[in-house]
Structure 1
């Protein structure tokens, strides 16, 4: 979730309103649970996609995705639901005041004096998302760690009251998380277009070609066997190419994140430029490269 109200503003009576950030506050065990659920969800989707790609078209006249795919899809929905439930339970508000930090979480209020915080440690492994931990003078980490997709506004708000404390956060990790939060803003409708609507393009082309080759016309299967088998065949092609594009997205995402991280590590001020470059390249390869590859592979 993106940080909100990143800068302090004067109220009507001239007092400074403490910057307020919407975060997810995780204890150690819930954070580990969230990371495990996230890894399991990705692994399930990858296995599901591989299963569909390699076991759907096996020479049968009317191919269908393997039956196991349905159970894996159901498991993915369960894992996703558990993740959302965990996020709902961990929703919190984080305030940066001149003398203290205030964390409000599900009826609980924690007031942390700035003088008792030694350092800010950004999560090296951003699971279940980017976030930070508060290292206390006692040597322990505060029991709740805020997950915030963009830690930079929070660190800037903190720096106005305690520059030395905000400076303890690693610049490369801050730049990496900030650049990703600013440029990679995928909403549900972006994902719907990417993995629901866009696969209809290659699926429709290959489905139509199959109808001509196998049944002699664009509606041959419908005329011979009815609407049900016709739509099932179209659904099979859509499912297949959705799985292909999920695998392609993963293959593109891994080097994209690696290049973006290396760029942020080598030069934090240029992290946004590197991130923008890799995201544009990623989109071009996905939306242009894949159709071009299909055209060259099957029609040239």
Structure 2
């Protein structure tokens, strides 16, 4: 036997493996997709409700205000529900391969081989929850038992429908164009969320805290000198939480409006989808990181 060295190429894969595009997806049975969607909607609603409670029930005339306890419980419940959605995503992780004569779905020990001829069409999700995705419609008239969530359905659809017979309608659908433009422009990272909703709120919180300390205690360290470090930090955390809640509501309002604008633009003129998406993301960032501090500064100068 001839020994194999690092610079000796291995045997090429089979023809099917050589040309088979493979995609990371999440394979949902219908019931689990419904559960995940409901959990996602509920967790979002709880965060918004908690932020609303903080906004309207924190400063009620008390000398040492604090966020309402209900908001904390709502936020904790939202975190639990969000954790469940992440668990479901982990459980549904799968790969979807497009081979010349079959589609192969592999998920946690299960392997499904679907002959291309048995698929009548591929349909994009009309309700993109818990995210964008697509479903296989079989020749029997029934849907395949797993629906596939994928951030960008377009590459999957293009791989499936090389001849255009199964996916032509889905490729042109506004929801596909909308999801593709979003996937190309938006890159969600945990550290960006941390910057947006943890670190950045420190700036308006520090400004409001400084004003409060100067007016109430005669200087930026007045409360610390009179009452100690604990009450001083609790007051600062109150302003930090309050600032975060205001920014969450502010960002949510503009996000809803911008997504509506982006979708209407895609529906009217699909070729401009990426340009509109880029404009929307830049506008949201400017409004958040520049517009809100400017609004706060204007308010304090009145």
After TM superposition, is the score higher than 0.5?
A: yes
User: For 1:264 and 1:135, how far apart are their aligned partners in 2?
Assistant: 26
User: For 2:118 and 2:270, how far apart are their aligned partners in 1?
Assistant: 29
Would you identify which runs of 4 or more consecutive aligned residues in structure 1 move more than 2 Å? Answer: 11-17
Query: Partner of 1:62 in structure 2?
Result: 64
Q: Which has the larger radius of gyration?
A: 2
Contact 2:157–2:171 (CA<8 Å) still a contact in 1?
A: no
2:181 is the alignment partner of 1:176: no
Aligned-pair CA distance for 1:271: 0.6
2:30 is the alignment partner of 1:28: yes
User: For 1:157 and 1:138, how far apart are their aligned partners in 2?
Assistant: 23
User: For 1:108 and 1:170, how far apart are their aligned partners in 2?
Assistant: 28
* Secondary structure of 1:163's aligned partner: coil
Aligned-residue CA RMSD in angstroms? 1.3
Q: How does 1:195-234 map to 2 (within 5 A)?
A: 195-234=197-236
Structure 1 unmatched ranges of 5 or more: 1-10
Matched positions, count: 289
Aligned-pair CA distance for 1:73: 1.7
Aligned-pair CA distance for 1:143: 0.5
Contact 1:119–1:168 (CA<8 Å) still a contact in 2?
A: no
* Secondary structure of 2:65's aligned partner: coil
Query: Partner of 2:46 in structure 1?
Result: 44
User: Per-residue displacement from partner, 1:267-291 (whole Å, max 9, x unpaired)?
Assistant: 2221111111111111111111111
User: For 2:95 and 2:13, how far apart are their aligned partners in 1?
Assistant: 24
Structure 2 unmatched ranges of 5 or more: 1-10
Query: Partner of 1:74 in structure 2?
Result: 76
Query: Partner of 2:166 in structure 1?
Result: 165
User: For 2:161 and 2:262, how far apart are their aligned partners in 1?
Assistant: 26
Contact 2:158–2:171 (CA<8 Å) still a contact in 1?
A: no
Contact 1:124–1:173 (CA<8 Å) still a contact in 2?
A: yes
Contact 1:92–1:104 (CA<8 Å) still a contact in 2?
A: yes
Q: How does 1:88-167 map to 2 (within 5 A)?
A: 88-160=90-162, 162-167=163-168
User: For 2:69 and 2:52, how far apart are their aligned partners in 1?
Assistant: 14
User: Per-residue displacement from partner, 1:221-249 (whole Å, max 9, x unpaired)?
Assistant: 00000000000000000000100000011
Contact 1:51–1:69 (CA<8 Å) still a contact in 2?
A: yes
Aligned-pair CA distance for 1:168: 2.9
Deviation larger for 256-265 or 41-50: 256-265
Aligned-pair CA distance for 1:88: 0.9
* Secondary structure of 1:234's aligned partner: helix
Aligned-pair CA distance for 1:166: 2.2
* Secondary structure of 1:149's aligned partner: coil
User: For 2:223 and 2:231, how far apart are their aligned partners in 1?
Assistant: 7
* Secondary structure of 1:94's aligned partner: strand
Contact 2:123–2:167 (CA<8 Å) still a contact in 1?
A: no
